[in-house]
Each structure stands twice: as structure tokens, then as C-alpha cells.
């Protein structure tokens, strides 16, 4: 929390929300909070009595079919229990339906209001879907799923591009109390297969093909490849996106969306579920090779997505939110789908890329629909900044009042560019820090309220008590001007409840490394004024273009290649993508790469292997064929040495005395230099 008063903070360089922000608010809209002092007051209440604070929020903001008995269990423990480490349960005894909260209640009030603005890959091919139309389609798809035997508590796998059907699908699944498991459509068939099997999904929903940046992706073909090893899958529902005729088809198993949907009536009632029933799984990368199915439960997640959208982005019901993220990642879940719809606002579903047909695409969309909140990862901003301001200058962006950033730290010069060229100094930049596991923003400024510093995610959201911990002693670092690993002292409604089918792994990963705290995996600093600065992952996770990759997962992909003996994957700084992946690979037969042509050919094969095993987005930028890897006497690979060499800091390798093969260091330096 800021230790100085607001005036002093501002005099010392923190920025006030710009005046234009307030002029750009919808007419007649009442601000949610008066000022920063009110945030401080509410924040204190949320920490002092989280049960009371969030119970009130849950009653005011969500629609319940049965009111809850307890705001939180256990009631008397505000912080994590050091013995059990368990997460809390929220709104216990309550019943509700996620789809009802996202769609029905707005459709009942205002059926003709736009719910989704679909901007297709090709400009001018999109359309608008109202809340009324959305509800009808959802109900029909729910009935298809019921007919296929999907019941409350079953998981349904979703492998779809960014089209309205992705939202229709998610809502149709949760309407009948089932659990969605979206697999990012950039994942390969092998990754898709593993996730379908892990979640035990029997139904897959996909499209014939996808279109992105003018290119066609053979989506159904990838699904078919995956399903060769998923005997439990009984049916595949296929949305016709391009209508090209050559897609593979398995009679009896595969069904066309457009043929099925017309068989059903436009309304079925939603199924109420308990607050703590699972809502969805979303697989994410961690320190080990096996992806984790992060499990979010219903009421707490919904409340987190709703409140952060409302307060952080200042979303009012007449706003149009454009989150340029994919529904295959958590940003898409919380801020394309749930957050905007829960608030009854309009969400933009964008199928394409920022560079197609040219670098003006985002701004053209903002101008065309008068978007009020825009949310994107810094990697896209770096790309657009590099392309040049001429692509942004000729558009009317005066509707924008909140500009969000997510996924990685935003460098001050990129922040400045965003502020000047996109916001035209009249929008509030909100750098939002959070994770798949946190469900919604945990450290972020509130638009129109919080003073900001370029590059800092500022202060915690309601109910979040961040702690900076000394990574060695595990002790909390008190006061300001401290740096360590970022933890959270107390449970909050939208935190993940488990890893699917593996609660012990959940505890071991998040709640036991620093007992009594939730461990984020990120390093962070709290500056002299109490602002939080995220310093990046302290584990073996690399953030490439906002995609979260596990180095261990890439290593296990590489080892699938028959020539590979072992490999070590590390991240290194990249101007455009934030981090990039470098793979140091030792082959079984070292003579194979004495010849340059041979070596290049092997490198290509290795890249193909990673694309096939994980997906194109995980392909290493650099492959270095080496004789050996630096290892300790106990056989642990010292990745730190490779990171330092790649960063050109070979004079700062630190202690290498534990290496069993010290000669390897010079060899690695030589290989990196000659690459």
C-alpha cells in the first residue's frame, strides 16, 4: 500500500489518470468509486473482513438461484492455514448458473443489445450477435450436448478459433453444469490428445478449418490425428467455418454444428450448480513437463472476473471491450468471455492478427466499433511500435478510455508509446498482473482511480494481500524497497481450487513452497512508495509473446527425436517477443554435426519435432548443438550458465565449482559465438 499521501506521490512522478478519461466515460454513468481514498478504504475492508466484503459483492453483482450460507469456509481463518495449506471455499451452500449470469439476465432485460461483435479474419466479414440471439444459440447447443450424453460434472474439450461459436460453446457447456476444457487452437495434435485424455473428455467441439492472418489452418485434421489415441471420445461437433470440402470425416462420430443446431428449440432452462462446483479447466505450463489442468470453480471465479472487469477497466454496461487475446488462454476466458458478459457489456471477438491485412487492424476495429476498453499483451505493442506510428495515426481512437496490458512486464518506452499514440494521452493505462491460477487480476490499477508509474502494475486488487518473500529464508520482507518472490497471504474468490485430478500437486506447486502463502512463481519488488514491479518468473517457465511455456515441456518434446541424447532449454531476452527459447541439444552421435549441412538439417528436424509435440508457438528460436551440458556432480543441469552465456555475461557466471565438467563452459561460449 502506498505509504505516502497521493499528493506527494504525484509530485514525485506518479501519474494521475488523465483528464480525458473522465470525459470519455459514457454519459450518465455513475463512477463506481469516487477516488483513490475510497479504493484504500474498500481495500482495507476487503483484507480485514474478506468474508463480509465479498459476500456483499457476490449478492450485489451475481444472480443466485439459492443464496449461500457461508461467505467463506473456514470462516475464522483469513489467511492460508500453515498446516493444511488448503485453499478456502467461497459462497458455500449457494447455487447459481454461470450462463444465466453472463447471458440470460441481460437478454431478459435488453435482448437487442449487442453481446458479441465478431470481427472476422477478413475485414468486413464479421457480424453482431445480440444477447437475445446469443441465448437462443446457446440453448440449442446445450441441447445437442445433452443429446450426446453430456451431464453435469462432465468435461467437454473445446478446440476452436476465435469466433462467436467459441463463446456460444463455453456458455452451452456451463449452462448444463458441465465443465469446459479449452485447448488453445495453436496446440499440436499430440498436446491436444494429452489434454483430452487427462481431462477424460468424451466430446470435442471444433471447426472444419480456421482462418488467421489470411492463412488456413486445418483444425479438424489436427483433431482427427489426436483422436487416433483417444478411444474415450464418442463424438466431435464440427462448426463449418470455411466450408472447404476435403476435411476428414468419421461417420457416426462427427456431427455438423449447423445440422444439429436446427433440431432444437430456442430455450432450455439453465442447470443450477453449487458455488464450488468446477466451472472449467485450463491447461497451463509449469516447472515440470506435464501440463497442469488448472481448475476453477464456479462462483468465486465468476465474481473475480466480474469485479476486476468492472473496477480495473471501469466497464459500464454500455461499454465495448476489445481484449485482443485468445480464448485458448486465461485472458480470453476472463476478459473476452466472462468479464464483459457478466457485466452486461459488449465484447469484441477478433479472429485475426494485428498485422493482417496490415498493422492498422486493431485501430481500424477500435475506430469502427468505438471500442472503450482495449486490452493486449506488450508483445503486440512492440510489433506495432516497430511497424511505425503511421499505422495508428489516421484512426479516430477517441472512444478509448482504458488501455490494458497483460502477460509480461511492459517496458516504459512501450508504455509511453501506448499512452501517446493509442491513448493520445487521454486514456488510462492499466498494467494488469495475474495468472491462469489467479483467475483474474491480482495487482492492477483501477482505471480512473489509481496513480500509475510506467512499468509497474501498481497496487493489489480487493482481497489480495501480496507478500514479498525472501526466496532463501522463506521469510516475509516487511516494508518498502524490497525485492524477492511474490506470494499472496490470503485466499481470494477466483483463485484456482486444484489441478484436475491432482490436488496434491496443486498444494505442492502453489501452497507448500512457502507455507502459509500462495506462491506465484514470479519475482517482484515493492518500491519505496509501495508500488509493485513484476520481475519475471523465478522457475523454469518462459514467456514468449505472452504464451507461457515450460522449458521442461520443450525438453521432453526434443527428446522424442531419435538422435537426441539430452537437452536443456532456457529463455533469453528478445526485443520483439519479450523472451525467446534457446535449446542446447547434445546428440547421441556427436559426429553427426561436424558437417554444417548436416547440422542445419538436424536443427530443422528438431524444430519440426517441437512444433509437432507442442505447437508452432513453442518452436525454439535458436538450437545449439553441443557436445555436453553443464551439470553438477549430482547430475543437475545448471541452466543459469547457459542463460548467462546467451546474455553475453560469461564474465558473470557465478560459482561454477560444483560443475562435474568445467571444460564445457568454454565449449558453450564457442558454440554460442559461432551461431
Local structure of 409: helix, strand or coil: coil
> Could you tell me how many residues of this chain bind ligand 6R9 (CB under 6 A)?
23
Determine phi and psi for 98, rounding to 5 degrees.
-65, -45
33-68 in b/e form (b: 16+ CB < 10 A) is: beebeebeebbeebbeebbebbbebbeeebebeeeb
Q: At what angle do helices 189-199 and 596-613 cross, to 10 degrees?
A: 30
Query: Cβ-closest residue to ligand 6R9?
Result: 436
Torsion of CA 468, 304, 153, 170, to 10 degrees: -120
Q: Residue 131 in contact with residue 106, Cβ under 8 Å?
A: yes
Q: Residue 300 CB, nearest distance to ligand 6R9 (Å)?
A: 17
Which residues, 528 to 547, sit near ligand 6R9 by CB under 6 A? Answer: 534, 536-537, 543
Q: Residue 32 CB, nearest distance to ligand 6R9 (Å)?
A: 22
Which DSSP string do the residues of 594-611 spell out, in sequence order? Answer: SSHHHHHHHHHHHHHHHH
Contact code string over 385-424 relative to ligand 6R9, x by CB under 6 A: ---------------------xxxx---------------
Strand 547-550 and strand 541-544: the pairing is antiparallel
Q: Residue 548 CB, nearest distance to ligand 6R9 (Å)?
A: 4
Q: Which of 197, 493, 149 is nearest to 181 (CA)?
A: 197
Q: Which of 568, 530, 502, 498 is nearest to 280 (CA)?
A: 498
Q: Residue 409 CB, nearest distance to ligand 6R9 (Å)?
A: 4
Measured between alpha carbons, how far is residue 474 from residues 226, 429, 509, 514 in Å?
A: 43, 33, 15, 6
User: Segment contacting ligand 6R9 (CB under 6 A): 103-111, 273-281, 428-436, 446-454?
Assistant: 428-436
Q: Which of 169, 153, 409, 361 is nearest to 274 (CA)?
A: 153
Q: Which of 521, 571, 578, 620 touches ligand 6R9 by CB under 6 A?
A: 521
If one asks whether residue 241 binds ligand 6R9 (CB under 6 A), the answer comes out as no
Q: Residue 132 CB, nearest distance to ligand 6R9 (Å)?
A: 32
If one asks whether residue 347 binds ligand 6R9 (CB under 6 A), the answer comes out as no
Which residues, 546 to 585, sit near ligand 6R9 by CB under 6 A? Answer: 548
Residue 364: its H or E element: helix 361-369
If one asks whether residue 97 binds ligand 6R9 (CB under 6 A), the answer comes out as no
Cell for 10? Answer: 504525484
Q: Which of 254, 351, 431, 539 touches ligand 6R9 by CB under 6 A?
A: 431
Which residues, 448 to 507, sit near ligand 6R9 by CB under 6 A? Answer: 457
Pick between residue 313 and residue 593 the one whose CB is nearest to ligand 6R9: 313
Q: Residue 408 CB, nearest distance to ligand 6R9 (Å)?
A: 5
If one asks whether residue 329 binds ligand 6R9 (CB under 6 A), the answer comes out as yes
Pick between residue 534 and residue 618 the one whose CB is nearest to ligand 6R9: 534
Pick between residue 176 and residue 544 the one whose CB is nearest to ligand 6R9: 544
If one asks whether residue 615 binds ligand 6R9 (CB under 6 A), the answer comes out as no
Which DSSP string do the residues of 431-477 spell out, in sequence order? Answer: EEB--GGG-S-SB-PPTTT--B-TT--BSBPTT--EEEE-TTT--B-
Q: Residue 376 CB, nearest distance to ligand 6R9 (Å)?
A: 11
Distance CA 429, CA 431 (A): 6
Q: Which of 435, 509, 579, 609 touches ligand 6R9 by CB under 6 A?
A: 435
If one asks whether residue 303 binds ligand 6R9 (CB under 6 A), the answer comes out as no
CA 46 remoteness from chain centre: 25
Local structure of 283: helix, strand or coil: strand
Pick between residue 47 and residue 294 the one whose CB is nearest to ligand 6R9: 294
Q: Residue 53 CB, nearest distance to ligand 6R9 (Å)?
A: 24
End-to-end CA distance of the chain: 47
Q: Residue 39 CB, nearest distance to ligand 6R9 (Å)?
A: 19
Which residues, 189 to 208, sit near ligand 6R9 by CB under 6 A? Answer: none
Which residues, 125 to 154, sit near ligand 6R9 by CB under 6 A? Answer: none
Q: Residue 287 CB, nearest distance to ligand 6R9 (Å)?
A: 12
Q: Which of 155, 188, 432, 490 touches ligand 6R9 by CB under 6 A?
A: 432
Q: Which of 271, 360, 402, 436 touches ligand 6R9 by CB under 6 A?
A: 436
Q: Residue 433 CB, nearest distance to ligand 6R9 (Å)?
A: 4
Pick between residue 36 and residue 329 the one whose CB is nearest to ligand 6R9: 329
Q: Residue 357 in contact with residue 212, Cβ under 8 Å?
A: no
Longest dimension (CA), the chain: 74
Pick between residue 165 and residue 408 the one whose CB is nearest to ligand 6R9: 408
Half-sphere exposure of 602 (CA within 13 A, CB side): 26
Pick between residue 532 and residue 593 the one whose CB is nearest to ligand 6R9: 532
Binding residues (CB under 6 A) for ligand 6R9: these are 284, 329-331, 406-409, 431-436, 457, 520-522, 534, 536-537, 543, 548
Amino acid at each position: 500500500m502506498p505509504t505516502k499521501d497521493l499528493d506527494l506521490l504525484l509530485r514525485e512522478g506518479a501519474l494521475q489518470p488523465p483528464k480525458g478519461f473522465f470525459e470519455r466515460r459514457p454519459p450518465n454513468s455513475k463512477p463506481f468509486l469516487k477516488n483513490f481514498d475510497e479504493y484504500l478504504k474498500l481495500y482495507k475492508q476487503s483484507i480485514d473482513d474478506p468474508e463480509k466484503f465479498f459476500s456483499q459483492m457476490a449478492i450485489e453483482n451475481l444472480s443466485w438461484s439459492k443464496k449461500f450460507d457461508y461467505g467463506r469456509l473456514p470462516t475464522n481463518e483469513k489467511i492460508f492455514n500453515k498446516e493444511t495449506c488448503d485453499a478456502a471455499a467461497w459462497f458455500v451452500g449457494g447455487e447459481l448458473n454461470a450462463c444465466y449470469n453472463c447471458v440470460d439476465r441481460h437478454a431478459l432485460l435488453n435482448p437487442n443489445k449487442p453481446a458479441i461483435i465478431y470481427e472476422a479474419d477478413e475485414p468486413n466479414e464479421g457480424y453482431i450477435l445480440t444477447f437475445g440471439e446469443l441465448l437462443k444459440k446457446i440453448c440449442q447447443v446445450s441441447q445437442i450436448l445433452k443429446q450426446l450424453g453430456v451431464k453435469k460434472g462432465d468435461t467437454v474439450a473445446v478446440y476452436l478459433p476465435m469466433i462467436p461459436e467459441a463463446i456460444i460453446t463455453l456458455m452451452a457447456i456451463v449452462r448444463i453444469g458441465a465443465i469446459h476444457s479449452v485447448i488453445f487452437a495453436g496446440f499440436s495434435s499430440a498436446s491436444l490428445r494429452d489434454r483430452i485424455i487427462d481431462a477424460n473428455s468424451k466430446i470435442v467441439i471444433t471447426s472444419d478449418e480456421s482462418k488467421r492472418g489470411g492463412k488456413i489452418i486445418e483444425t479438424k485434421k489436427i483433431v482427427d490425428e489426436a483422436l487416433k489415441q483417444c478411444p474415450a471420445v464418442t463424438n466431435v461437433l464440427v462448426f463449418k467455418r470455411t466450408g472447404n470440402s476435403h476435411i476428414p470425416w468419421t461417420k457416426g462420430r462427427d456431427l455438423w454444428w449447423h445440422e444439429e443446431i436446427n433440431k432444437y428449440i430456442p430455450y432450455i432452462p439453465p442447470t443450477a450448480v453449487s458455488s464450488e462446483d468446477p466451472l472449467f479447466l485450463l491447461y497451463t505450463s509449469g516447472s515440470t513437463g506435464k501440463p497442469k489442468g488448472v481448475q476453477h470453480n464456479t462462483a468465486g471465479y465468476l465474481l473475480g472476473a466480474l469485479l476486476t472487469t468492472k473496477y480495473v477497466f471501469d466497464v459500464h454496461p454500455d461499454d465495448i471491450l476489445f481484449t485482443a487475446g485468445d480464448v485458448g488462454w486465461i485472458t480470453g476466458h476472463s476478459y473476452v468471455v466472462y468479464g464483459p458478459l457478466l457485466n452486461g457489456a459488449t465484447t469484441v471477438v477478433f479472429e485475426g492478427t494485428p498485422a493482417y491485412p496490415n498493422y492498422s487492424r486493431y485501430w481500424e476495429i477500435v475506430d469502427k466499433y468505438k471500442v472503450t476498453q482495449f486490452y493486449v499483451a506488450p508483445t503486440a505493442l512492440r510489433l506495432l511500435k516497430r511497424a511505425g506510428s503511421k499505422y495508428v495515426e489516421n484512426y479516430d481512437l477517441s472512444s478509448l478510455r482504458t488501455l490494458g496490458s497483460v502477460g509480461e512486464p511492459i517496458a516504459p518506452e512501450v508504455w509511453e508509446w501506448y499512452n501517446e499514440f493509442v491513448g493520445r494521452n487521454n486514456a488510462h493505462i492499466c498494467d494488469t498482473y495475474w495468472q491462469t491460477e489467479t483467475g483474474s487480476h491480482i495487482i492492477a490499477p483501477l482505471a480512473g482511480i489509481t496513480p500509475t508509474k510506467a512499468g509497474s502494475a501498481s497496487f493489489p486488487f480487493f482481497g489480495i494481500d501480496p507478500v514479498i518473500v525472501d526466496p532463501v529464508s522463506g521469510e516475509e520482507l516487511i516494508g518498502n524497497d524490497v525485492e524477492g518472490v511474490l506470494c499472496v497471504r490470503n485466499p481470494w474468490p477466483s483463485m484456482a481450487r486444484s489441478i484436475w485430478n491432482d490436488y496434491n500437486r496443486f498444494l505442492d506447486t502453489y501452497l507448500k513452497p512457502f507455507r502459509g502463502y500462495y506462491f506465484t512463481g514470479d519475482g517482484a519488488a515493492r518500491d519505496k512508495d509501495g508500488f509493485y514491479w513484476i520481475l519475471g518468473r523465478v522457475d523454469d517457465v518462459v514467456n514468449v509473446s505472452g504464451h507461457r511455456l515450460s522449458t521442461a515441456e520443450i525438453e521432453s518434446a526434443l527428446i522424442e527425436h531419435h538422435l537426441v541424447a539430452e537437452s536443456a532449454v532456457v529463455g533469453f531476452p528478445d526485443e520483439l517477443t519479450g523472451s525467446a527459447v534457446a535449446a542446447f541439444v547434445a546428440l547421441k552421435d556427436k559426429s553427426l554435426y561436424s558437417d554444417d549441412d548436416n547440422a542445419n538439417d538436424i536443427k530443422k528436424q528438431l524444430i519440426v519435432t517441437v512444433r509437432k509435440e507442442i505447437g508452432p508457438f513453442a518452436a525454439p528460436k535458436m538450437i545449439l548443438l553441443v557436445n555436453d551440458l553443464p551439470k553438477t556432480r549430482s547430475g543437475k543441469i545448471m541452466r543459469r550458465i547457459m542463460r548467462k552465456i546467451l546474455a553475453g555475461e560469461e564474465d558473470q557466471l557465478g560459482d561454477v565449482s560444483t560443475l562435474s565438467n568445467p571444460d564445457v563452459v568454454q565449449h558453450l561460449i564457442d558454440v554460442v559465438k559461432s551461431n
